[in-house]
Amino acid sequence: MVLLAAVPAPGTAAAADGPAPCVVREGRPHTDWTGMRWDADVLCDNTAGDVRLQSFFSSPVVGRMVTTRSWFVCWKTGDPHQGGNRIWYYTQGDVITNWPLWKGWGYVPAFRTETEPDPFPGLPACLPS
């Protein structure tokens, strides 16, 4: 298991009375394991959980979110989940758990994020894979 970033940035903790709002951040470059690039992200509160290679529950787990405020670069549809929709967000897990080639990049179901609505406005759809 490889730890990537288990410490949240200063000032990103949720307020005691509820989650902090999601923020679209321009000028935040990310490159995934395939070489795909994004120049922006959405920073949102989230719960810890598995990051899956694809947007369905039978997909292999490649990482784990351990922080509670994380960034996401795009979204796509997948398996329905307890959030009442089929939206999944693409990110890089804080910890690589399996398949190190993928560097922890994968999808989390929207119910693990504090996004509202789903998909979150300003976040692009992921290109088909």
* 84 is a domain residue: yes
Most confident stretch, 5-9, 14-18, 19-23, 81-85: 81-85
pLDDT above 60 for 91: yes
* Contact in structure between 22 and 46 (CB atoms under 8 Å): no
Query: Of all residues in the chain, what percent carry a pLDDT higher than 70?
Result: 86
* 37 is a domain residue: yes
* 48 is a domain residue: yes
78: Cβ–Cβ under 8 A, 6 or more apart, which residues?
54, 55, 56, 86, 87, 88, 107, 109
* 13 is a domain residue: no
**What local confidence, expressed as pLDDT, does residue 128 receive?**
72
* 15 is a domain residue: no
Q: In which domain, by residue range, is 84 found?
A: 22-112
Beta bridge partners of 96: 2, 63
Say how many domains are in the chain: 1
Mean of all residue pLDDT scores within the chain: 88
* 68 is a domain residue: yes
What does the block give as tokens for 119?
Answer: 């998909």
* 14 is a domain residue: no
* 125 is a domain residue: no
pLDDT above 50 for 13: no
